């Protein structure tokens, strides 16, 4: 199933306001390379034949290309312009995807491992929509105005990427108009009536959003080598 029949959209169209950095978080260096490059390398190392489609802010495309040239990186990938919302970026990227199976992955999740990728892609042989998850370890409370109520953590999971789909299902999901509650690709697929199959993710596959995440990712990537 892998190879030319599979595409991955790596979303890096944001500007990372929460990080408080002068450059978008996907370009911040870890161990001498931009976060985004670490992410792309994970997919390329897993299978060099996978089609990689990258969404980037229009104003940062030349910066990315300069970074690749300085680091002498030649991983094949296509670049498309990011949109106003994540939804818009992925919709743009879908037009470039040639695979019958399409994965969507956050550009700032450089710690996805090969075992999680294998579980996701293998599940697509049976299911139409597959996402990796990890258990919630902390206690949870539901807010209700000034009040809150404890809820059982066993009823909840944390959602990761890549979120993986058969091509026809993902395209149909993105034919829907954007809604604010579409926070990920699975929520669009679910709105179309498609059931979502869950597979085990890897705990270190964090989304780098804050400075603390950056410190943790730097340590984990050093241990990953």
Residue 121: what pLDDT? 95
Our count of domains for the chain comes to: 1
> Is 71 inside any structural domain?
yes
Q: What is the DSSP string of the chain?
A: --STTEEEEEE-----GGGT-SS-GGG-EETTEEHHHHHHHHHHHH-TTSEEEEEE-GGGHHHHHHHHHHHT-----EEEE--SSHHHHHHHHHTT---SEEEEEETT-TT--HHHHHHHHHHTTT-SEEEEEEE--S-EEEEETTEEEEE-GGG-EEE-S-EEEEHHHHHHHTTSPP-TT--SHHHHHHHTT---EEEE--TT-----SHHHHHHHHHHHHHH-
**CATH number for the domain including 154?**
3.90.550.10
Give residue 22's pLDDT: 75
Determine the structural domain holding residue 190 and report its residue range: 6-224
Query: pLDDT band at residue 82, thresholds of 50, 70 and 90?
Result: confident
Is residue 138 included in any domain, yes or no?
yes
- Identify whether 39 is part of a domain: yes
Q: Which of 2-6, 40-44, 52-56, 138-142 comes out lowest in average pLDDT? A: 2-6
- Look at residue 27 and tell me if it is in a domain: yes
Residue 1 lies in a domain: no
Q: Is residue 61 part of a domain?
A: yes
Report how far apart, in Å, the C-alpha atoms of 67 and of each of 7, 116, 218 are: 23, 28, 19
Q: Is residue 104 part of a domain?
A: yes
203, part of any domain = yes
Whole-model pTM: value is 0.94
79-83, 107-111, 166-170, 186-190: segment of lowest average pLDDT: 79-83
């Amino acid at each position: 199933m892998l190879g030319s029949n599979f595409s991955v959209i790596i979303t890096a169209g944001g500007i990372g306001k929460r990080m408080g950095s002068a450059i978008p978080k996907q370009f911040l260096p870890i161990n001498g390379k931009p976060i985004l490059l670490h992410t792309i390398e994970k997919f390329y190392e897993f299978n060099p034949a996978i089609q990689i489609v990258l969404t980037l802010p229009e104003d940062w495309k030349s910066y990315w290309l300069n970074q690749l040239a300085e680091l002498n990186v030649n991983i094949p990938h296509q670049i498309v312009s990011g949109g106003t919302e994540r939804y818009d970026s992925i919709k743009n990227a879908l037009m470039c995807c040639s695979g019958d199976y399409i994965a969507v992955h956050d550009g700032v999740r450089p710690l996805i491992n090969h075992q999680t990728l294998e579980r996701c892609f293998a599940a697509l042989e049976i299911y139409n929509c597959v996402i990796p998850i990890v258990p919630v370890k902390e206690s949870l409370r539901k807010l209700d105005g000034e009040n809150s109520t404890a809820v059982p953590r066993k009823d909840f999971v944390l959602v990761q990427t890549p979120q993986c789909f058969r091509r026809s299902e993902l395209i149909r999901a993105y034919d829907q108009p954007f809604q604010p509650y579409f926070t990920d690709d699975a929520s669009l697929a679910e709105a179309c009536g498609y059931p979502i199959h869950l597979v085990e993710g890897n705990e270190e596959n964090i989304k780098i959003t804050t400075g603390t995440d950056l410190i943790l990712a730097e340590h984990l990537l050093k241990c990953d080598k």
